[in-house]
């Protein structure tokens, strides 16, 4: 009797769930598929709602790591994942992106004697002060198989001479967006609930540690959002980390709520519909800048660097350091390139990754 190979996915944060949604069905068809959720995003709105909306069944294991410093989270994942890995004995452990869950999962797998595959390998911002940059570099140099979303990410891995096998697969975010965009249009009522007209508002998301934990930078970002809101409504879903810092510093009270619409963290379908009907996007998120690019939205990245430099070169993404006195009118007048290239892939990355895994492991 044929026994399926066993694949174990480790996730734990919003970006991980979206990537898992792209591969879950095909992984579960071709493999015995075990899902471990670290609980890195312990807030329901940032966690379980993504499983619900993206039709991913409940994980097989939940570690309940919760909040804490980077070292605490990674340490707890290492400690708790080891027992599961030794019990399940997977043929391969798959980690996604650059979160602490991805790094903790990769380290736990390697230390327990199992091979690692990295979905979204090879991205580089070349800023080692960014925790995600440290995570992704370490994961890439530990991985047996590296699934790179773009040609630029392949070149980064070749330049670093990683020991694992490199595969150009396309970006799994394309798969998810193409699948769920039409569903979001029919099921989400977010525009009606917020009384918004299509094309008459800007989306803003801020959550990166370098922006949130630096009070001066966060203050400048709030000032920037307030200035822009004088010209156009701004919809601002607040990440739990951002909300806590805004409350602790008193900056939450400084937000001009006349034209800045503050919301709790949104489910994927609501977020996708808001993004599609926005005029443009202000963010520091790697995932959001890709989704905005796919939806052809001019995007301002409130960072000095980005791991998706190809989107900047394509003329659809503009880097903007909030430490610089930025003129809001310049942001509002940013016009993207008239050309929109197929940089991120064809929407079949998940199927491609699964077939490579099956072929290589056999």
The reply to whether 339 belongs to the active site is no
What are residue 344's phi and psi, to 5 degrees? -95, -5
Interval 126-143: pLDDT, tens: 999 899 999 999 999 999
**267/48 Cα distance (integer angstroms):** 9
Q: Determine the pLDDT at residue 29.
A: 96
> Homologous superfamily of 6-171+345-361 in CATH?
Glycogen Phosphorylase B; (3.40.50.2000)
| CATH number at 182-332 | 3.40.50.2000
Q: Are 213 and 250 in contact (CB under 8 A)?
A: no
Helix, strand, coil tally for the chain in percent (to 5): 50, 15, 35
pLDDT at 297: 96
Task: Give the count of beta carbons closer than 10 Å to the beta carbon of residue 197.
Answer: 9
Query: pLDDT tens across 277-293, in order?
Result: 999 999 999 999 999 99
Annotated active-site residue in 33, 173, 207, 277: 207
β-bridge partners, 36: 10, 61
Separation of alpha carbons 206 and 283, rounded Å: 6
Q: How far is CA 179 from CA 13, 297, 330, in A?
A: 20, 19, 34
Delimiting residues of CATH 3.40.50.2000 domain(s) in the chain: 6-171+345-361, 182-332
Q: Cα–Cα distance between 223 and 33 in angstroms, integer?
A: 47
- pTM comes to 0.93
Q: For every one of its 362 residues, what pLDDT tens digit does the chain have, with 9 covering 90 and above?
A: 568 999 999 999 888 999 999 999 999 999 999 999 998 876 555 566 777 788 888 899 999 888 888 899 999 999 999 999 999 999 999 999 999 999 999 999 999 999 999 999 999 999 998 999 999 999 999 999 999 999 999 999 999 999 999 999 999 999 999 999 999 999 999 999 999 999 999 999 999 988 999 999 999 999 999 999 999 999 999 988 899 999 999 999 999 999 999 999 898 999 999 999 999 999 999 999 999 999 999 999 999 999 999 999 999 999 998 877 667 877 888 999 999 999 999 999 999 999 999 999 98
With tokens 């992984």, the residue in question is 27
């Amino acid at each position: 009797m044929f026994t399926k190979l066993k694949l174990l996915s480790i996730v734990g944060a919003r970006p991980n769930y979206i990537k898992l949604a792209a591969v879950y069905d095909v992984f579960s068809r071709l493999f015995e598929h075990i899902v471990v959720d670290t609980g890195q995003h312990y807030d329901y709105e940032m966690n379980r709602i993504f499983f619900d909306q993206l039709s991913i069944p409940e994980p097989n294991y939940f570690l309940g790591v919760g909040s804490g410093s980077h070292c605490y989270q990674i340490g707890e994942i290492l400690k708790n994942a080891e027992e599961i890995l030794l019990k399940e004995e997977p043929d391969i452990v798959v980690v996604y992106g650059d979160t602490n869950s991805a790094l903790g999962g990769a380290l736990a797998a390697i230390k327990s004697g199992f091979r690692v595959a990295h979905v979204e390998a090879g991205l580089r911002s070349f800023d080692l002060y960014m925790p995600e940059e440290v995570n992704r570099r370490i994961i890439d140099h530990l991985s047996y198989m590296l699934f790179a979303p773009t040609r630029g990410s392949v070149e980064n891995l070749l330049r670093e001479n990683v020991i694992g096998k490199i595969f150009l697969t396309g970006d799994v975010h394309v798969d998810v967006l193409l699948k769920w965009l039409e569903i979001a249009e029919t099921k989400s009522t977010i525009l009606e609930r917020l009384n918004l007209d299509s094309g008459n508002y800007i989306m803003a998301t801020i959550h990166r540690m370098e922006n949130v934990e630096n009070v001066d930078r966060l203050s400048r970002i709030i000032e920037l959002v307030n200035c822009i809101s004088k010209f156009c409504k701004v919809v601002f879903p607040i990440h739990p980390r951002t909300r806590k810092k805004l409350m602790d510093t008193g900056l939450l009270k400084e937000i001009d709520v006349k034209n800045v619409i503050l919301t709790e963290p949104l489910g994927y379908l609501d977020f996708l519909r808001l993004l599609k009907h926005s005029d443009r996007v202000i963010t520091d998120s790697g995932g959001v800048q890709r989704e905005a690019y796919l939806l052809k939205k001019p995007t301002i990245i409130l960072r000095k660097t980005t791991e998706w430099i190809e989107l900047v070169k394509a003329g659809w993404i503009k880097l903007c350091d909030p430490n610089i006195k930025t003129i809001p009118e310049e942001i509002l007048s940013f016009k993207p390139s008239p050309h929109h290239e197929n940089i991120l892939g064809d929407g079949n990355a998940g199927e491609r990754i699964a077939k490579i895994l099956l072929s290589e492991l056999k």
